Structure 1
Amino acid sequence: MDPSQPSSDLAQSPFKSVIGTNYSPSTAEAAIIKSLLVEPQRERARLESEMRRIQALLEKTKEYIEAHQSLISPIRQLPSETLAEIFLWCLPADALPVRNVKQAPLLFTTICRAWRVVALSTPRLWSSLHIYLPQHLTIDELFQRRAGISRWLERSGSLPLFISLHGRTSLVSTPTEFRIAGSSVKDNMMYLIRLLMEFGDRIMDLSLSLSPRDFLLFDELSPPQFPALISLSIRDANLHEGSYGHLHENDPREMSLTSLLQRMPRLQKLQLKDFSNHTISAHTLGVRSLTSLDLSGASAPFAVTINIVQALDLLSQTPWLQFLKMSIMLRLSGTDQVSPLPNVHLEHLEELRIGFSTSTVRPRTDAQARMISLFTRIQCPSLKKLSVTWQGWLISEIPFRGLPLCSLEFLELHLLMEAEVLFECLALLTNVKTLQLRTGKYRSEFGNNNTCALQNTHLLAMTLSAENTTPLCPRLENFHFVDKLGRGLEALSTAALTNFIASRKGTLQYCDLFFTKVPGFTEGELDCLRELKQEGMKIRIHGAKSYPVMKLDAPDVGMVPWRQHRAVRPSFSISDMEGANGTDVII
């Protein structure tokens, strides 16, 4: 090949036979190679220069096109009212907005001038806000935060406000942390509460997550009235953050909400959660205008748990309730034994959720009698939804028989009844549309036991067939069964389950079954259930995955903490993703 005619084609190189090998060229061959590369290197430099010129021209053309295309973008043609409506749909659906420029609505003020103008002139974007007051703020940081909150709420114009406040002055560990730049944490809380009180006449929905001493401060600084307040939710911030030391410190042992609630003439919804058992005086919660009362929580001592006498006394003060959720302590006291139990008429009550705390009452009949005494004193002719939870003694009599069971549309039972009692209960549910049953532990003379109240006989009685033309729960549309203790498969057969579900084709819309062990359905049963699902019935049958037995053979065993080698045991929740191993979805 003539070296004066260089080519960039490897196939034409005089050294093509040795390219890609370990061949070492001689001095003369190296000189030839260098001469071969002169012209290609010059050509590469020319091409790279041309590429840079074309790339610059491409970027300039692209910038020109995009700049002009943006002028005719459809979003520019949207009226300001439509754009504002889109902004409103971007607000969080399950929480209040926060002061974060990466989230709506503040995000909209950083995009462009036009969007900023629309956002700032849309009061509904600024009518709700969650506020957090940390303990470490300096006085300058506090003033900046107060100014930002004030501007936010002022933009809401005259609209009703939805406010959430979380902060606590309790459990400040050291005096240095308690006093920063001449301003105490308590002073910071006072400044912030006073700021909110400037907008107090417009607050419609208020959520307070404070330490007990801060509730007293809030009460002290509150205006004579909250004329627009309809919903109030309060929570002990110390308990919510897992700090229990305040129960033994200087925080008030008991709080009265009478003074605060009396200044809320329009209050309809009241929720209390995460409070110690002795923090809230139950008799101070009675507000005649309430339509919803939620004393939610886990169980004593970190929930607002009241006894039967207190519960009936409270309900007698709230005749307009439509929703009620509370936890009842069944333990007998001297006062309970002598106090007459009044009848309470709740004409408008539509949903009742009651959880009974595990009681030390002996024997079983006493605990059951206390439950019956509560339900028989409550008259609620409009009741549509009922939920009862108790992990105590096995129930031998329907405790809520006095309620209008024939008109119930929703029933959730997280308690254990004797099979005959559950059968009797189901027979009374002539209009129920949603039935939720959960297994649980129960007490006996021999300790705690596990069992499943739902039996094959119940499923057979609920199965529509030629022999059973009037099954139990004839209007059932949603069926949920949760076996978290592994006893369901001992009491229920897959055939009975399949026959029940198949017989309700056309009326049963949703069926959710959870077992701690994967049920052994036959292929025929699975095919039947899959066909029902394809035809539109929403079916989910799932079981917890087995806990894996780990054989340790990692090279770092003995060098790292043992817990790093251990898997977390699943909690067997109804969620498919709960726990380290999740659940196996069968259908």
Structure 2
Amino acid sequence: MAAFNSPFSVHLHTNYVPYDVEKMQISELLIAPQRKAHTLGAEIGQLKSRIAEVKARRDALDVMITEQTSLLAPWRRIPDKILSAIFIYCLPAQHYTPMTIHDAPLRLTFVCQRWRRVAFNTPYLWATLHIVCVSTWERAAVVFFLRVQSHLNAIVQWINRSGSCPLSISTSDCVRPFFIYLHALRQFSNRWLNIQFNGIDQRALLSLASLSHDDVPMLETMNLRFPSSVDERTSSQWRMQGGLFRGNKLRIVSIYHRPVALDVMALDWSGLTTLILCDASTAVQSPMTPSEAVAILSQCKNLLNLTMSIFDHPPTGPFQLPAHANLQYSLPHLQNLSINDNYFFTSTLFSSIHAPSLTGVAYSTQFWPSRIRRSPLVALLARNGRTVRSLIMDPSFLSHAEFVDCCRLSPFLARLHFLQSSIPMPNERRNGLQGPINQIIMNVVFQLLTPADQGKCHWPYLQYLQKSRSFCGPYLDEKPVFDLIQKRMEGAKKSSNLPLKWVKVSLGCFVTRNIRSLLQEYAEDGLHLQLEDYIDNNFLLEDFESEEAEAYDGMFSPREGIHSLHRKLPFPF
């Protein structure tokens, strides 16, 4: 509806140009409407001010209503005991609790007064602790010890809140002497349940050696990283006492660079369920000998997980058949076996192992394929291969026939991880071969695992495949990768072979085909591909972060704490 009548309305929305007289008439005609518009604008301003005032009153009322309604929230009526149980589930799942306000339980204490009180009155929240030792670089000694003392006071206060709960404690590597922290922790040794000590120095070794089995009555899991060399005084102390190894409840033991021989440790071998013994061949103290390995196999009847490095350096005279050649070692409960092989007769030892429950094997060696030495991996699988579902190895240390034997002897393998050894390829292995030796070997291996036209292939139940980045860069062409994935996925539709679920490989330097688009249809069907390009280190296909992938990764991380052994397969190499 028009606000007022005007004789000039007929000229609206046209190109009509008024005369001078008409301009004066239009100006006079607009005086009254302009006054009216000004009046209406003032009225609108008043109404807006009124609306703003009403909105402010409503918002204030809403705030009050919300605050009062929050008093009726169900979570406010949760009893302290239930709230305490909820807090426990807030603890980190992958590692012991660090002393930081960004993680529970400290973070919970900053929410409200009630939460703070409940958190402090929940001892289990404070029963796990990861200690990051104070760094000393670029700091004066006085400043360092003042910081350490403050840190120790906080640690003791933290542990005191745990009441009588069993303690799970891990430490980072210490730059300065570890014994300063150990001295504070020893007063709680009667409550040690799981311990993981890194960066142990000589004085800390003596302190640990002085512990008796009565000092650690609750100890179940132990992960100790000793120094690479131990003086005679310390070794003697461990021989005389060493009660830390004699705990009645000790079940999981992980030792790096053990300070004394195994017979001196006097462990209750029959009670162990997980044993990890990792020694360097260059360590001053004696590494694990074949006879010690035999002792473990003959005494640890209840082992579930075993990791050890076997050395025979220097070799004890000419190669002769060892004394354990005709013995049989039954490990009925063993599920995961990880061996670093540096012993010429390991195949004889493996031939004597009977492990009917063995499902996971990790194998590393320094011996190249030879006509005078049977591959220990083949010897192990010959007797126990039908139950093996997971295998980690370096195919460079197997001949073509030995690799085929591994496939034949473990027909139900589902998880395969190619992990390259750090030992360089000798020149004699390069004779007659063109290009990078590792690339040639891996291409051949992938071709062996690729189904034939009839659908037959090695390891027909293989679903998880990983080829880790090597120490010298990824050595793998994209064509063998593409052929293996395509033919296994297509073959699964026409035969009883299982389709691949997860593939992670590192490609070579020169990528000439867009395998992303070629394999996309399988990714859409559920295949998780993680193909890493060497040039830009970008993943060509989506990352795979499922629980299955984490379980398959299986690498033991000291940072995560010894309890990670319950979830993962402990492979040290």
Interval of TM-score (by shorter of Structure 1 and Structure 2)? 0.5 to 0.7
Q: Determine the C-alpha separation between the residues in 2 that align with 1:191 and 1:420.
A: 56
Q: SS in structure 2 opposite 1:266?
A: coil
Letter in 1 for 2:341: F
Q: Determine the C-alpha separation between the residues in 1 that align with 2:76 and 2:315.
A: 71
2:348 aligned partner: 373
Q: SS in structure 2 opposite 1:232?
A: strand
2:404 aligned partner: 423
- Residue 411 (structure 1) aligned to one of 383, 386, 391: 391
Cα pair distance change 1:446/1:98, threshold 3 Å: closer
Relative to its length, the structure with more helix (as a share) is 2
1:489 aligned partner: 477
2:250 aligned partner: 267
- Kindly indicate whether the alpha-carbon contact (under 8 Å) linking 1:261 and 1:287 is maintained by their aligned counterparts in 2: no
2:25 aligned partner: none
Say whether 1:307 aligns with 2:297.
no
- Residue 498 (structure 1) aligned to one of 483, 486, 502: 486
2:499 aligned partner: 507
Within a 5 Å distance, the mapping from 1:40-439 to structure 2 comes to: 64=64, 67-68=67-68, 70-73=70-73, 75-131=75-131, 134=134, 148-165=154-171, 188-189=180-181, 191-197=183-189, 200=190, 202-209=191-198, 210-222=200-212, 224-236=214-226, 247=229, 252=234, 256=238, 259-273=242-256, 275=257, 279-285=259-265, 286-288=267-269, 289-296=271-278, 300-301=282-283, 305-334=287-316, 340-342=322-324, 343=327, 344-356=329-341, 369-394=344-369, 397-403=374-380, 404-416=384-396, 417-439=398-420
- Kindly indicate whether the alpha-carbon contact (under 8 Å) linking 1:482 and 1:513 is maintained by their aligned counterparts in 2: yes
Q: Determine the C-alpha separation between the residues in 1 that align with 2:395 and 2:457.
A: 23
Give deviations 1:81-130, integer Å, cap 9, x for gaps. Answer: 44323322221222222333443212322322211122122222122123
Cα deviation for residue 320 of structure 1 reads: 1.7
Cα deviation for residue 304 of structure 1 reads: 8.8
**Which sits farther off after the overlay, 67-76 or 226-235?**
67-76
Give deviations 1:337-376, integer Å, cap 9, x for gaps. Answer: 579443333222111011235xxxxxxxxx7x43323322
1:585 aligned partner: 540
Cα pair distance change 1:442/1:377, threshold 3 Å: farther
Say whether 1:541 aligns with 2:531.
yes
- Kindly indicate whether the alpha-carbon contact (under 8 Å) linking 2:532 and 2:539 is maintained by their aligned counterparts in 1: yes
Which is bigger in relative contact order (C-alpha 8 A, separation at least 6)? 2
- Kindly indicate whether the alpha-carbon contact (under 8 Å) linking 1:408 and 1:431 is maintained by their aligned counterparts in 2: yes
Say whether 1:450 aligns with 2:437.
yes
1:34 aligned partner: none
- Kindly indicate whether the alpha-carbon contact (under 8 Å) linking 1:207 and 1:233 is maintained by their aligned counterparts in 2: yes
Q: SS in structure 2 opposite 1:583?
A: coil
- Kindly indicate whether the alpha-carbon contact (under 8 Å) linking 1:398 and 1:425 is maintained by their aligned counterparts in 2: no
Relative to its length, the structure with more strand (as a share) is 1
Q: Determine the C-alpha separation between the residues in 2 that align with 1:444 and 1:164.
A: 44
Q: Determine the C-alpha separation between the residues in 2 that align with 1:86 and 1:248.
A: 46
Cα pair distance change 1:491/1:503, threshold 3 Å: same
- Kindly indicate whether the alpha-carbon contact (under 8 Å) linking 1:354 and 1:387 is maintained by their aligned counterparts in 2: yes
Give deviations 1:34-77, integer Å, cap 9, x for gaps. Answer: xxxxxxxxxxxxxxxx9xx9999999778756643543455434
Cα pair distance change 1:152/1:473, threshold 3 Å: same
Cα pair distance change 1:491/1:409, threshold 3 Å: same
Q: SS in structure 1 opposite 2:530?
A: strand
- Kindly indicate whether the alpha-carbon contact (under 8 Å) linking 1:429 and 1:472 is maintained by their aligned counterparts in 2: no
Q: SS in structure 1 opposite 2:350?
A: helix
Cα pair distance change 1:461/1:222, threshold 3 Å: closer
Q: Determine the C-alpha separation between the residues in 1 that align with 2:182 and 2:516.
A: 63
How many residue pairs match? The answer is 463
Say whether 1:463 aligns with 2:451.
yes
Q: Determine the C-alpha separation between the residues in 2 that align with 1:474 and 1:488.
A: 22
**Which sits farther off after the overlay, 278-287 or 207-216?**
278-287
**Which sits farther off after the overlay, 218-227 or 261-270?**
218-227
Cα pair distance change 1:261/1:447, threshold 3 Å: farther
Unmatched 5+ stretches in structure 2: 1-49, 137-141, 543-573
Q: SS in structure 2 opposite 1:488?
A: coil
Letter in 2 for 1:431: F
- Kindly indicate whether the alpha-carbon contact (under 8 Å) linking 1:353 and 1:386 is maintained by their aligned counterparts in 2: yes
Q: SS in structure 1 opposite 2:441?
A: coil
Q: Determine the C-alpha separation between the residues in 2 that align with 1:379 and 1:113.
A: 59
Cα pair distance change 1:55/1:145, threshold 3 Å: farther
Q: Determine the C-alpha separation between the residues in 1 that align with 2:503 and 2:478.
A: 20
Cα pair distance change 1:112/1:482, threshold 3 Å: closer
Q: Determine the C-alpha separation between the residues in 2 that align with 1:157 and 1:248.
A: 36
TM-score by length of 1: 0.66
Q: Determine the C-alpha separation between the residues in 2 that align with 1:423 and 1:70.
A: 68
Q: SS in structure 2 opposite 1:95?
A: coil
Give deviations 1:476-527, integer Å, cap 9, x for gaps. Answer: 2212234635543299374355323432355322222222335444x6x655
Cα deviation for residue 582 of structure 1 reads: 2.4
**Which sits farther off after the overlay, 340-349 or 391-400?**
391-400
TM-score by length of 2: 0.68
Give deviations 1:426-471, integer Å, cap 9, x for gaps. Answer: 1222111112224554335478973343455864665165x24x43
Letter in 2 for 1:435: L
Cα pair distance change 1:219/1:303, threshold 3 Å: closer
Matched-pair identity in %: 21
Unmatched 5+ stretches in structure 1: 1-49, 173-184, 240-246, 358-366, 546-580
Cα pair distance change 1:518/1:85, threshold 3 Å: farther
Q: Determine the C-alpha separation between the residues in 2 that align with 1:167 and 1:436.
A: 29
1:477 aligned partner: 463
Cα pair distance change 1:353/1:60, threshold 3 Å: same
